Amino acid sequence: MKGITYLLLAASFVFSHCKKVEIEDDFLISLIETSPSNTVEFYENINIRIEYSHAQGFLGFSDPDYLSLEVKDSRLSDPDYYHLVPLSPPQSDVSISGEILIEVDAPFIFGNGNIETFTFTIALQDKDKNWSNKVTTELITVNRASWDCDAINGCVDPVTGLGQYTSEEACNAVCDTILIKANNTSEFNSCPNPVKNILTISGEYLLADFYDVFKKLVQ
């Protein structure tokens, strides 16, 4: 396949009952919803739900090598193509309509920035090799993972790509010390910081628990 390889699709299909009705336009698709529209890279898949209608029901192919679903990331020059299973009974010639749920693998940032925005454009091809109209999702924002130190909750991702720390380990190294100071009801000093092999504690305290950079209790 051409284009990016991370964009893997899993589709589920919801059919209406086949019905012989007049359709003004023979082959149409429309966008129902896209979610989420704001996410962190590698965190969650993008769900795109579209609605389709075809006057003859000529949608989908039994041949897995025939690629009739087009998906284009606006950040790329070329679309990717995927197999779409038959959406109507074999050898039928009846009008069909329904919904398709396209699940796109969790996006990631292509460049060096902390935030990127993009859209997906979708189209279907029928058995006569006619293409439907194209539909484009709303703008999707993907943020690079980052962390801020919260005095109550520890290291948290603000989901903006603008956190103070670029790795959770770096945040934990600083945040764990801050939490000890914030939650301590007695005054004591510990040294050295960071600790290697021997930790010296001085001051008044009843109990002290210490955690490593992975938030694991040190025994």
**Cis preceding-peptide flag for 79 (omega within 30 of 0):** no
Residues shown for the chain = 219
Q: Which two tokens stand for residue 90?
A: 């074999």
pLDDT in tens, 56-88: 878 888 888 999 999 999 999 999 999 988 887
List, in order, residues 6 or more apart from 69 with CB less than 8 Å away: 9, 11, 81, 82, 83, 84, 102, 122, 123, 124, 125
Amino acid identity at 96: I
Domains with residue ranges and CATH for the chain:
9-143 (2.60.40.10), 148-203 (no CATH)
The span from the CA of 45 to the CA of 105, in Å, is 5
What does the block give as tokens for 154? 């520890």
Confidence check: pLDDT of 215 > 90? no
16: helix, coil or strand? coil
Model pTM?
A: 0.64
pLDDT of residue 2: 33
3-state secondary structure of 191: strand
